[in-house]
Amino acid sequence: MNEEQRLASQQVKQPEPSDKKSEKDYSKYFQSVYTAPSLKDAKKRGKEEVQYHKDFAIDEKYLGMGHGRKFYIRTYGCQMNEHDTEVMAGIFLQLGYEATNKVEDANVILMNTCAIRENAENKVFGELGHFKPLKQKNPDLLIGVCGCMSQEEAVVKKILKTYDQVDMIFGTHNIHRLPDILNEAYMSKEMVIEVWSKEGDVIENLPKVRKGNTKAWVNIMYGCDKFCTYCIVPYTRGKERSRRPDDIIQEVRQLAAQGYKEVTLLGQNVNAYGKDFEDLKYGLGDLMNELRTIDIPRIRFTTSHPRDFDDYLIEVLAKKGNLVEHIHLPVQSGSSDMLKIMARKYTRESYLELVRKIRKAIPDVALTTDIIVGFPNETDEQFEETLSLYKEVGFEMAFTYIYSPREGTPAAKMQDNVPMEVKKERLQRLNDVVNQLCGEAIKQYDGQIVEVLVEGESKRNPNVLAGYTRKNKLVNFVAPKEVIGQIVKVQVTEAKTWSLQGDFIEVVTDQKVEL
């Protein structure tokens, strides 16, 4: 099916009959454009094959579109969004736009949004309010909302109702259609909305403007089929679909040839990589085993799901070389009962067993995690189990969150008897443990020599340089600026809670990959 046929076949959803205002506004945009999001459609997982489009190219008629115009993109959320922003920036440049980091100078402003928790969404609505005066000053200005929030029906309705300064809303599956969407927005007086709820495709050769020339993100798969009961991602990012190994390997080779020092492989659940291939038995372990032969000093991946973390992957990671000994392995809760209600598909015991296997194969591995506290009806005992699991594993760091109900997910319909006060107390208690263990983990480095990939000047002090170790520890030190982008040795002189301080020794020149 080509793009036009697909557009024609997309079903346009009617608004809720009770919502008079949005009904009126929806009908307004029907005249001009395409598709509104539907969480119900986004939930469906069809058997249809993933289509691979190898030939992204910008239609000649759009090539001068950005002449004399500037774009500004504000990015919220995860690395996947950061990387989508790099792709959109690449498309803007091909259209002839110039980048600006001043919102006042922009002719197009895009908000690349995150839907994972309510406060992420509130920030975006707040910002949209601030853009209203800019629009009044410059009627040629286009304001767009993209990313995960645009996949939500409720968000699109709210924007239609309240934020008429917005000109375009497009979804996570529509990024490659940016030239057409911009064109439509310039031509039309109505808000342009193009959000596909179901997407089974992988589009290769999208242009990218990577941030910096040291570290790069590489998508290996899109979407998620896990449907954890609290999570909106399977609805906003669609079904699991993997890029073909050859395309990934070629991209990493190219990055190595361009002098990049680190690649992070991206996916919502990278351990499901390859499960959707019908013609090939090939998983994340196979991919890592091939990537480790590429002459690039560091390869990471994020995010893992414990359920799909198999023995072969552990065996490959244990070979180390350019595969770093840091694994981010979200656990979410230490209680098997809670994990069951969250539909995580593993238990406390099987998670601990996986950790034992990983540690046996990679004794010096650094493990980090994500945890949600205050899931509906979480008891004190269940929360205590999370604390005890955290200590038992000895995580070096964690991202911790209070549960946020997301409309359309099963958990959002659950009765919740945990008061917000209790949730906040639990978060505080958990964070105290996280800080304590982080401080203990970092103390081990005191006096050691560590290898640091130098990213640039420290945010606080331009005379100090900053970078990360293989295990993702932040290191600050003084050295000539020429070492930015290189891997250097640093003697640690002080271990603080979240970072290390040290003395620069030398640049590491021999980064040959051990096979």
Which residues are annotated as part of the binding site for [4Fe-4S] cluster?
Answer: 78, 114, 148, 224, 228, 231
Footprint (CB under 6 A) of ligand 5AD, residues 227-256: 230-231
| 268 binds, options ligand 5AD, ligand SF4, none, Cβ within 5 to 8 A by partner type | ligand SF4
Cβ 228 to ligand 5AD, closest distance in Å? 7
Token pair 């000649």 is at which residue? Answer: 60
Cα 38 from Cα 331, distance rounded (Å): 29
**How many residues sit in the footprint of ligand SF4 (CB under 6 A)?**
10
Considering the complex, state which of residue 197 and residue 469 has its C-beta at the smaller distance from ligand SF4: 197
| 117 binds, options ligand 5AD, ligand SF4, none, Cβ within 5 to 8 A by partner type | ligand 5AD
Cβ 301 to ligand 5AD, closest distance in Å? 15
Q: What is the dihedral of CA 48, 52, 55, 58, to 10 degrees?
A: 50
| Residue 53 β-bridge partners | 203
Cα 499 from Cα 185, distance rounded (Å): 46
Footprint (CB under 6 A) of ligand 5AD, residues 95-124: 116-117
Binding ligand 5AD by CB under 6 A: which of 115, 175, 270, 372? Answer: 372
Considering the complex, state which of residue 144 and residue 376 has its C-beta at the smaller distance from ligand 5AD: 376
Cα 90 from Cα 100, distance rounded (Å): 13
431 touches ligand 5AD (CB under 6 A): no
Contact 304, 330 (CB under 8 A): yes
268 touches ligand SF4 (CB under 6 A): yes
The arrangement of strands across the sheet holding 142-147 comes to 98-99, 70-75, 108-113, 142-147, 168-170, 192-194
H or E element, residue 337: helix 336-341
Residue-wise DSSP of 28-68 = HHHHH--B---HHHHH----PPPEEE------GGGTTTTTT
Peptide bond into 303 cis (omega under 30): yes
CA neighbor of 466 nearest in space, from 127, 475, 205, 357? 475
- Helices marked H in 44-152 — which ranges? 79-94, 118-137
The arrangement of strands across the sheet holding 397-402 comes to 326-328, 366-373, 397-402
| 372 binds, options ligand SF4, ligand 5AD, none, Cβ within 5 to 8 A by partner type | ligand 5AD
Q: Tell me the residue number closest to ligand 5AD, measured at CB.
A: 370
Footprint (CB under 6 A) of ligand SF4, residues 391-450: none
Binding ligand 5AD by CB under 6 A: which of 170, 401, 477, 504? Answer: 401
406 touches ligand 5AD (CB under 6 A): yes
> Which of the stretches 86-94, 403-411, 464-472, 475-483 binds ligand 5AD when contact is defined by CB under 6 A?
403-411
DSSP state of 477: E
Cα 280 from Cα 27, distance rounded (Å): 45
| Residue 332 β-bridge partners | 371
Tokens of 359: 């540690």
Cβ 411 to ligand SF4, closest distance in Å? 11
> Which of the stretches 383-391, 400-408, 462-470, 491-499 binds ligand 5AD when contact is defined by CB under 6 A?
400-408
Binding ligand SF4 by CB under 6 A: which of 151, 269, 400, 486? Answer: 269
3-state secondary structure of 69: coil
Binding ligand SF4 by CB under 6 A: which of 224, 317, 365, 430? Answer: 224
Q: How far is CA 36 from CA 7, 215, 252, in A?
A: 12, 36, 36
- The interface mask with ligand 5AD, positions 313-352, x = CB under 6 A, is -----------------x-x--------------------
Cα 217 from Cα 230, distance rounded (Å): 27
H or E element, residue 266: strand 262-266
Cα 118 from Cα 406, distance rounded (Å): 7
Considering the complex, state which of residue 300 and residue 305 has its C-beta at the smaller distance from ligand SF4: 305
Q: How far is CA 209 from CA 206, 308, 497, in A?
A: 10, 32, 34
Footprint (CB under 6 A) of ligand SF4, residues 294-323: 305
231 touches ligand SF4 (CB under 6 A): yes
Binding ligand 5AD by CB under 6 A: which of 107, 404, 431, 435? Answer: 404
370 touches ligand 5AD (CB under 6 A): yes
Binding residues: 78, 114, 148, 224, 228, 231
| 401 binds, options ligand SF4, ligand 5AD, none, Cβ within 5 to 8 A by partner type | ligand 5AD
Binding ligand SF4 by CB under 6 A: which of 234, 267, 376, 467? Answer: 234
Considering the complex, state which of residue 89 and residue 393 has its C-beta at the smaller distance from ligand 5AD: 393
Cα 94 from Cα 109, distance rounded (Å): 17
Contact residues: ligand SF4, CB under 6 A: 224, 226-228, 231, 233-234, 268-269, 305
Contact residues: ligand 5AD, CB under 6 A: 116-117, 230-231, 330, 332, 370, 372, 401, 403-404, 406
